Amino acid sequence: MLGTTVTRGKEKAAQGRTWKIRVEKRLEAPAWWNAVVPMISITLALLFGAIFLKMTGYSPIKVYTIMFKDTFGTRYGITETLVKASPLLLSAVGVSIAFRMQLWNIGAEGQIYVGALAASWVALTFTDLPAYIMIPAMMIAAAFAGGLWAFLGSAPRAIWGVNEIITTLMLNYIAIFCVEYFVYGPWRDPLSFLFPLSPVFPKSAWLPCFGNTRIHLGLVFGIVAALAVGLLLSRTKWGYEIRVIGENPDAARYSGMSISRNIILVMLLSGAISGIAGMCEVSGIIHRLQAQVSAGYGYTAIIVAWLAKLHPIGIIIVSFLFGGLLVAGYSVQIYGIPADIATMLQGSLLFFVLGVEALARYRIRIIRSSPEPAHHATPGVARKIT
Amino acid sequence: MKFRRWTVLVCVITMLSMFVIGISGISAASDKMKVGFIYSSPVGDMGWAYEHNRGRLHLVEKLPYVETVYVENVPESSDAERVLTQLAEAGCKVIFACSFGYMDFVHAVATRYPDVIFMHNTGFKTAENVGIYFGRIYQARYLTGMIAGEMTESDLIGYVAAMPIPEVVRGINAFALGVRSVNPKAKVKVVWTNTWYDPAREKDAAKSLIEAGCDIIAQHQNSPAAQQAAGEAGVYGIGYNTDMRQFAPDAVLTNPVWNWGPFYVDCVEAVRNGTWKSPYDYWGGVEDAVVDVGPYGPMVPEDIKELVIKKKSEIAQGEFRVFEGPIKDNKGVERVAPGQVMTDQELLSFDWFVEGVEGTLN
């Protein structure tokens, strides 16, 4: 579509002048544009949702009120939104660093699972450790496992150029099967009537929570990770290399940067962060290992990272908003609104955010011109697509 | 320029309206008794959640003072605790948590809301305000097994099973005992999907069993996908949870079905009358009609139906018990001596297959 120009002439008889609307690609978006575009998208999505709700017989005002109140409008709502945002934030930061290098790590879900598995191993094996050793040890184990899992996905890419989308995606299923093996097999709690649950972790392996909420340290880890990755990318030599490789691998290669080495390193870091997300879910929320660790956080994180345009501060904000959107999906049901409507709203939000984002790369110019050439420019005839 | 001013205006209006909406809040005053339900799959799964939801509708119909709310498709993870809390906050007096995986979350929320009764389906842990409830679906499975045993020609029956936990193992064993009570040569072949609800996986598992030579497909899954696979392959099937004939009219012989409605009515009335007492542990069978054998397909001969109806009344009268010895495991070791009956405790921790089951339990 590059270089597309659509020119339409419309005669205004009274004034004898024509208006031309020209659509052209923006070279560079102005700063205010980046802030306005998401707001337009959200507005459009809400309007679209409102029409849909009205058509299906629900009051849009009521539905939006409930969604807002149960997510950002009450103390409990905000805390639960933060709980939901924590794993999203960590794994979105994890995938974003790989995406910066145009490395498509779709394996965050699997990295969450192996992270949870490794952390559970520490918690269930060394039950007597005090919390100040237990928690760091679980984190290290989770980061190591997540990193290893990402390494398995990225090494074939670095060595043979195997598509990492496939390898990382497939490793997700293997990770989930590994967790299933342990909860159905060796780690099954003898007191749980053979249900697929590990024993509950000792208290020292529970991530501390804030007050009486379920917000755990994982949120702090997420914010720290976002800021650290932001600094890494913008302020360090390695971050510069990552960005250059992402923008232009050939230029990077000519300037002597090792692409294979960076693929491995970036994926190790990416996987380690997602691994810690998995540890936070089992240690902060579930307090035991079970077959379902993540409610698809590893996949949602990809959406979060893209909506935030891979910007670390953006990821913090979008995780929070998306956490709210996911929470709202359940809470509207309590008021008799089917879950499908919430899912539809989530979908339309994505559609409009990405759609407006794409359109915003073009600008519309309205050109007034003299009547003479306009007589020849009738709609359809003057359309030129190159 | 105009464009920019317009967008800014729209944004400001939106944000203002969001704010106004946010502070105005909503109020729902009602003197009805609120009862909450939480399901792990969509109520449209045409299986497990569908039947619980039918029970909910029955409750609403029978008890005019009851008002219900439900939340579907809630994962058995951090979401469950929040949804349970929100249901309690919304004023529910009784909350039915209709999946095993909600157990820890139910107990965590129950300690914070001592005035709310939590009913955990298929669980094993009770508390001051947490009851458990389930049905002896294995009785219905034994009966459907008799039909499968009579109808099979290859003497190999496939069983698409969700998870190797006692509930499922018990069902497979009862089914196999039913099959072999009428056809001692027949075998039951088990494939695990490790999921309650994933129609694609359920269907694939059924296909693999059909390819392995099974001519009847039984299932312990939430969706009718396995029955559809049977219908497409032209073999018979035995559904589960609800009447699945509509999804594969030529395949489905019958179904072990749930009928939660009457139980929900009794339980909610007990809470209202103050007769609900801890420990509350309900495990009803065919005598309560909470479990039953569903409508029969036209291909099931009358004499087989009569056989099943007779056996059903024997079970209901307590004259026949499904897990009465002698019972051997699938390695040939005698596990239950002649005349001995397995206790409920043993049934709740079933971890071996009876003779005639082909499959592994890790």
Answer yes or no: do A295 and B77 touch at CB < 8 A. Answer: yes
pLDDT at A16: 58
Of A40, A291, A293, the CB nearest to B7: A40
Residues in chain B: 362
Is the pLDDT at B236 greater than 90, yes or no? yes
At A220 the three-state DSSP class reads: helix
Higher pLDDT: A190 or B355? It is B355
Answer yes or no: do B349 and A194 touch at CB < 8 A. Answer: yes
The verdict on B45 and B186 lying in the same domain is no
How far is A213 from chain B, CA to nearest CA, in Å?
11
Residue in this structure with the two tokens 């002896």, named with its chain if needed: B136
The verdict on B243 and B346 lying in the same domain is yes
The verdict on B54 and B160 lying in the same domain is no
Q: Tell me the mean pLDDT in the region B66-70.
A: 94
Residue at B299 is within a domain: yes
Is the pLDDT at B16 greater than 60, yes or no? no
Distance CA B60, CA B244 (A): 24
Nearest-by-CA chain A residue for B125: A192
The verdict on B107 and B149 lying in the same domain is no
Of A196, A214, A295, the CB nearest to B75: A295
pLDDT at A9: 44
The verdict on B195 and B154 lying in the same domain is yes
The verdict on B172 and B55 lying in the same domain is no
Residue in this structure with the two tokens 């179904």, named with its chain if needed: B255
A vs B, Cβ pairs < 8 A, gives 127
Of B10, B124, B194, the CB nearest to A193: B124
How far is A256 from chain B, CA to nearest CA, in Å?
45
Q: Which two tokens stand for residue B7?
A: 């967008």
Is residue B79 within 8 A of residue A295, CB to CB? The reply is yes
Q: Tell me the mean pLDDT in the region B237-252.
A: 94
Q: What CATH number is given to the structural domain containing B177?
A: 3.40.50.2300
Residues 65-84 of B with CB under 8 A from A: 69-79, 81-83
The verdict on B264 and B345 lying in the same domain is no
Answer yes or no: do B82 and A364 touch at CB < 8 A. Answer: no
Is the pLDDT at B20 greater than 80, yes or no? no
Q: Tell me the mean pLDDT in the region B80-91.
A: 93
pLDDT at B165: 86
Distance CA B235, CA B229 (A): 9
Residue at B1 is within a domain: no
Among A250, A292, A260, smallest CA distance to A112 is for: A292
Residues 225-244 of B with CB under 8 A from A: none
Strand order across the A362-369 sheet:
A7-12, A17-25, A362-369
How far is A227 from chain B, CA to nearest CA, in Å?
26
Q: Which two tokens stand for residue A90?
A: 């960590």
Residue percentage of chain B with pLDDT more than 70: 91
pLDDT at B27: 42
Answer yes or no: do A46 and B165 touch at CB < 8 A. Answer: no
Among B290, B259, B284, B312, smallest CA distance to B145 is for: B312
Q: Which two tokens stand for residue A309?
A: 């345009």
**CATH fold group of domain A59-336:** ABC transporter involved in vitamin B12 uptake, BtuC (1.10.3470)
Among A108, A47, A31, A19, smallest CA distance to A349 is for: A47
How far is A372 from chain B, CA to nearest CA, in Å?
27
Distance CA A321, CA A326 (A): 9
Q: Tell me the mean pLDDT in the region B18-41.
A: 67
> Interface pTM (ipTM) of the complex?
0.75
pLDDT at A371: 56
Residue A315 makes CB contacts below 8 A (sequence gap 6+) with A89, A92, A93, A96, A226, A304, A305, A308
CA B191 distance to own-chain centroid: 18
pLDDT at B7: 56
Question: Which residues of chain A does B77 touch, with a Cβ-Cβ cutoff of 8 Å?
Answer: 281, 285-286, 290, 292-295
Question: Which residues of chain B does A200 touch, with a Cβ-Cβ cutoff of 8 Å?
Answer: 104
Residue of B82, B106, B122, B173 to mutate, testing the A interface (most A Cβ within 10 Å of its Cβ): B82
The verdict on B179 and B319 lying in the same domain is yes
Residue B26 makes CB contacts below 8 A (sequence gap 6+) with A62, A65, A66, A69, A335
Domain count, chain B: 2
Residue of A193, A219, A340 to mutate, testing the B interface (most B Cβ within 10 Å of its Cβ): A193
- Under the banding of pLDDT at 50, 70 and 90, the label for residue B269 is very high
Of A43, A69, A70, the CB nearest to B14: A43
Nearest-by-CA chain B residue for A330: B71
The tens digit of pLDDT for each residue in B302-317 reads: 999 999 999 999 999 9
Residues 156-215 of B with CB under 8 A from A: 163-166, 194
How far is B66 from chain A, CA to nearest CA, in Å?
15
pLDDT at B182: 96
SS (H, E, C) chain B: CHHHHHHHHHHHHHHHHHHHHHHHCCCCCCCCEEEEEECCCCHHHCCHHHHHHHHHHHHHHHCCCEEEEEECCCCCCHHHHHHHHHHHHCCEEEEEECCHHHHHHHHHHHHHCCCCEEEEECCCCCECCEEEEEECHHHHHHHHHHHHHHHCCCCEEEEEECCCCHHHHHHHHHHHHHHHHHCCCCEEEEEECCCCCCHHHHHHHHHHHHHCCCCEEEEECCCCHHHHHHHHHCCEEECCECCCHHHCCCCEEECEEECCHHHHHHHHHHHHHCCCCCCCEEEECHHHCCEEECCCCCCCCHHHHHHHHHHHHHHHHCCCCCCECCEEECCCCEEECCCCECCHHHHHCCCCCECCEECCCC
The verdict on B246 and B348 lying in the same domain is yes
pLDDT per position in chain A (386 positions), as tens? Answer: 344 444 444 444 445 567 777 777 776 666 677 677 778 888 888 899 899 888 888 888 888 888 888 888 888 889 999 999 999 999 999 999 999 999 999 999 999 999 999 999 999 999 999 999 999 999 999 999 999 999 999 999 999 999 999 999 999 999 999 999 999 888 988 777 777 889 999 999 999 999 888 999 999 999 999 999 999 999 999 999 999 999 888 999 898 888 899 999 999 999 999 999 999 999 999 999 998 899 889 999 998 898 888 999 999 998 998 899 888 888 888 888 877 777 787 788 778 877 887 777 777 777 776 655 544 444 444 444 43
The verdict on B128 and B149 lying in the same domain is no
Structural domain containing residue B131: 33-135+260-288
The verdict on B308 and B172 lying in the same domain is yes
Higher pLDDT: A309 or B150? It is B150
CB atoms within 10 A of CB A169: 18
pLDDT at A380: 43
The verdict on B229 and B80 lying in the same domain is no
Is the pLDDT at B79 greater than 50, yes or no? yes
Residues 297-316 of B with CB under 8 A from A: none
Residue at B164 is within a domain: yes
